[in-house]
Structure 1
Amino acid sequence: MKRQIIASINHNLGRAIALLDVIDSKTYQDTSIGPYYSSIGSHIRHTLDFFDCIISGLDTNDIDLTARKRDEVISTDKDAAKDHIYKIQETLTSYTDVNTDYLIHVTDNMGQGKITVNYTLESILAHANSHAIHHYATIGYMLEQLGVSIKIPGFGYNPTTPVNKREGI
């Protein structure tokens, strides 16, 4: 199962690379779309931060999703973002044959302070992938508002969305 989850995540991260290959830097950095006035780059950076927290905390069995790096270079530089995606994909692939038959402590802030819960590696990776898809959907909305038309099949859609409605951006 872990192999399939990692392959799915890497495929999904590949969609972000496809996006970065076709949009220009101005579009990547644009903060003109409300209501949050964030950039596509900041959404990419945020999704990568989630994976970074997993990778950083796995060895100590203490994944803290509130300890995000928030590297602004990734928010503004498409090439830096792509390089970072490739590193995450390589690291995730290295986990395929690692024994992770134990519970992992994951800390997050649910709105009323930090809380730590137990996950398996597979469950936190599945959560991170769903989180990325959610932000890809926001990116799709932003591109629409910017008048940028790009076709990346499945981008921003959960795989459970009916195929006739899952066009991608």
Structure 2
Amino acid sequence: MANALRTFDADVGSAPMDMLSALFEARGWQCDVHSTEEISGKVKGSWATYQLRCIWRREDNVLQLLCLPDIRVSPEKRAPATDLLALVNEQMWLGHFELWSDGGMLLFRHAAMLGDEGLLSLTQAQALVETAIEECDRFYPAFQFVLWSDKSPKDALTSAMVDAAGEA
């Protein structure tokens, strides 16, 4: 494990932004710490470079993670993209995809309650970040099929899941 993470025990928590900053540094990902409540970075996935934003709500002890796959949905594609979102979200165990009404930006969002102490463990940090990237990678082709190939939402999801199942 890289130097940035050697000081962290995988099961002992730390301040969320400190832990996430160390994780990003250890992985060699671009990272900007905006405050003690917000950090952002860029991560190369299988299909695209994703922007990650992590926001810490101290008053609720909730860490929210947003992963933006840089997909904008034009007004004429909103209806099929929204239908696809519903189908995709049925497949999700953690987090969900949504479409921001302002600008049509697609994003993955997940929030984690960190308990009374408000600490984030290395194990939790890795799971949150890896889940966001994996889910964006898993469903990225489906969104592309709807937006660029004019497939129906159901066909796009089926095609994307078959393609993903074929990768090893």
Q: TM-score, normalised by structure 2?
A: 0.32
Task: Point out the structure with the larger strand share.
Answer: 2
Pair member with larger Rg: 2
Q: TM-score, normalised by structure 1?
A: 0.32
